[in-house]
Structure 1
Amino acid sequence: MEPASLIAAFGIGSLLTVLVQRFLETRSLSRQRQYDERKEAYVGLLESWVRGEDANFTDASARDTGHWLLRAQLVASPKVHDMLSEWGETKPGSDERISATKKLKSAMREDLRSL
């Protein structure tokens, strides 16, 4: 094999390695960012629910929950997004809300595991 073709082959191999590594790194960082965003929104929503129950569902607690609900809807998977909409249509403290909350928490766990 000629030295020029050996150098060219080594250069092309190195270039391909760098490109593949860059692609995998970018994909990994994107998934991690997506996981972090969803986790923050889901945990914030769950904490706002607790604060709302402690405050007996005041206007301020409703705004807090609405804030976190919107953030969760922005980053949620389609399944969780639909469940968030369903949850938002229920009345606080009702049996429907309790059932929707259980389903929603389960879907959130599945969503975070899938990333």
Structure 2
Amino acid sequence: MDFVALLTAFGVGSLATAVIQFWLSERIISKRRIYDERKEAYLGLLESWMKYESREPNKQGEFNVGHWLLRSQLVASDSTRLLLDEWEQTEAGSPDRIRATKQLKAAMRTDLRSP
């Protein structure tokens, strides 16, 4: 009887270990996926802003900024999403836009700091 109890105890322990390892690996994968999605969206947004503001504004540039803005809003944290909305409502080159851009970049850095 002691042998059966010992065998059962090791089996349950192995099963518990496997479940915990699976849960931890899935959690890491999920965090990494969120990090990668945010990184791609934020960099795309920043690059499209730079191209749009450094060249003569046109419809394609507006489309690109809008595309990356939407993608960023989908994956951003709540605080960054509010700053994205605030940035979107400001006029290009205005003091409000400059302030909103600085705050937004700081929020993006915070989002990307911990994968």
TM over 0.5: yes
Cα distance in 1, alignment partners of residues 96 and 84 from structure 2 = 13
Cα distance in 2, alignment partners of residues 66 and 106 from structure 1 = 20
Task: Identify the residue that residue 56 of structure 1 maps to in structure 2.
Answer: 56
Paired amino acid for 1:79: S
Cα distance in 2, alignment partners of residues 114 and 92 from structure 1 = 31
Structure 1 residue 94, shift from structure 2 partner: 1.6
Cα distance in 2, alignment partners of residues 59 and 102 from structure 1 = 25
Percent of residue pairs bearing the same amino acid type: 52
Task: Identify the residue that residue 90 of structure 1 maps to in structure 2.
Answer: 90
Cα distance in 2, alignment partners of residues 43 and 74 from structure 1 = 14
Task: Identify the residue that residue 38 of structure 1 maps to in structure 2.
Answer: 38
Q: Secondary structure at the match of 1:91?
A: coil
Cα distance in 1, alignment partners of residues 38 and 46 from structure 2 = 12
Cα distance in 2, alignment partners of residues 41 and 28 from structure 1 = 20
Task: Identify the residue that residue 72 of structure 1 maps to in structure 2.
Answer: 72
Cα distance in 2, alignment partners of residues 37 and 98 from structure 1 = 25
The 5-angstrom pairing of residues 11-30 of structure 1 reads: 11-30=11-30
Q: Secondary structure at the match of 1:57?
A: coil
Cα distance in 1, alignment partners of residues 31 and 57 from structure 2 = 35
Runs of 4+ in 1 over 6 A off after TM superposition: none
Cα distance in 2, alignment partners of residues 77 and 56 from structure 1 = 32
Q: C-alpha offsets along residues 26-73 of structure 1, whole Å, 9 cap, x if unaligned? A: 000000000000010000000000110122222211110000000000
Cα distance in 1, alignment partners of residues 54 and 111 from structure 2 = 27
Structure 1 residue 79, shift from structure 2 partner: 0.2
Cα distance in 1, alignment partners of residues 83 and 93 from structure 2 = 17
Give the TM-score of the pair, scaled to structure 2: 0.95
| Count, aligned residues | 115
